[in-house]
Amino acid sequence: MPGFTACHRTRVGPLRRGLGHATTSMAPVCKNPSRNSSVETSTYTTTQRIELSVTRSERAAILGGTFTPVHNGHRALLHTAFQTASHDGAGDGHVVVGLTDSAVAKQTRSDPDHASKLGSFTDRQAQLDEELQKLGTTYSASYEIVKLEDTHGPAASRADIDALIVSPEAKAQRRAYELNEDRAENDLPRLEIHTAPFVVAEDGTRISSTRIRNGEIDEHGRLLE
């Protein structure tokens, strides 16, 4: 399997218009985006604060999810994050993508049995990194992937984050509100909330990983039945 880099801090492509408190098993390290890099993963919970190196001259956007299989709804979230970080303010921008571990994925599923169908964290991490490297050719922002071991992760505690990217779902909007309440109680600035659009399949129903796993649609929303 190709290597994975937890944090890409170099500019990986030209800018084109249009389109926690924490614990860590190892210190986050930023490298050039390379498929030959060794695996380096940051792990976040809500017990100890870790601040990463985002300069205050650039904007940072954050989002999280299981991202498996990666589909057009996820891509809308990621594009919104890169647009928010890259196109607003000074600097190239930075995107933090939280990838849930298996335990958190099980907690956040409406049907906990679905968690067993998500695949290993390592496989999901590699697939997400591949998708992010494609986006890196379109936007100026760098990115990092962090492993989430609770539902809030670094968005609850990092002072260097400016914006939170969420889906239009009521549950996601409610979590965003609660997260900002937690930040305010800890004397941290509230995050801007940016909502990505719903992406629907050919039948007009929202694309979801569950529908893809059930064989109803493919990752682009094309009907399979």
CATH assignment at residue 19:
3.40.50.620
How many helices (H) and strands (E) are present in the chain, helices listed first? 5, 8
Q: Do residues 33 and 6 touch, judged by C-beta distance below 8 A?
A: no
Evaluate whether residue 219 is within a structural domain. Answer: no
Evaluate whether residue 199 is within a structural domain. Answer: yes
Evaluate whether residue 158 is within a structural domain. Answer: yes
Residue 160: the pLDDT is 93
Structure tokens at 47: 């017990």
- Into how many domains does the chain fold? 1
Evaluate whether residue 112 is within a structural domain. Answer: yes
Evaluate whether residue 225 is within a structural domain. Answer: no
Residue 44: the pLDDT is 41
Evaluate whether residue 218 is within a structural domain. Answer: no
Residue 20: the pLDDT is 28
Average pLDDT over residues 206-210: 92
**Cut 0.85: pTM above it:** no
> What average pLDDT does the structure give for the chain?
76
Question: Distance (Å, rounded) from C-alpha 18 to C-alpha 28?
Answer: 32
Q: 78: domain range?
A: 7-213
Residue located via tokens 């914006």: 163
Band of the pLDDT at 38, cuts 50, 70, 90? Answer: very low
Question: Distance (Å, rounded) from C-alpha 61 to C-alpha 201?
Answer: 27
Residue 104: the pLDDT is 80
Q: Say how many C-beta atoms besides its own lie within 10 A of residue 210's C-beta.
A: 13
Evaluate whether residue 222 is within a structural domain. Answer: no
Q: Which of 98-107, 171-180, 213-222 has the lowest mean pLDDT?
A: 98-107
Residue located via tokens 């390290």: 29
Residue 218: the pLDDT is 97
Average pLDDT over residues 189-213: 95
pLDDT in tens, 99-154: 998 788 777 665 666 666 788 899 999 999 999 999 888 998 999 999 998 877 89
Torsion from C-alpha of 204, 207, 213, 215, nearest 10 degrees: 20
Q: List C-alpha distances in Å: 39 to 21, 80, 152.
A: 23, 27, 24
β-pair partners for 30: 7
Average pLDDT over residues 39-62: 53
Average pLDDT over residues 187-198: 96
Evaluate whether residue 171 is within a structural domain. Answer: yes
Residue 109: the pLDDT is 63
- Per mean pLDDT, which of 6-10, 33-37, 107-111, 133-137 is the most reliable? 133-137
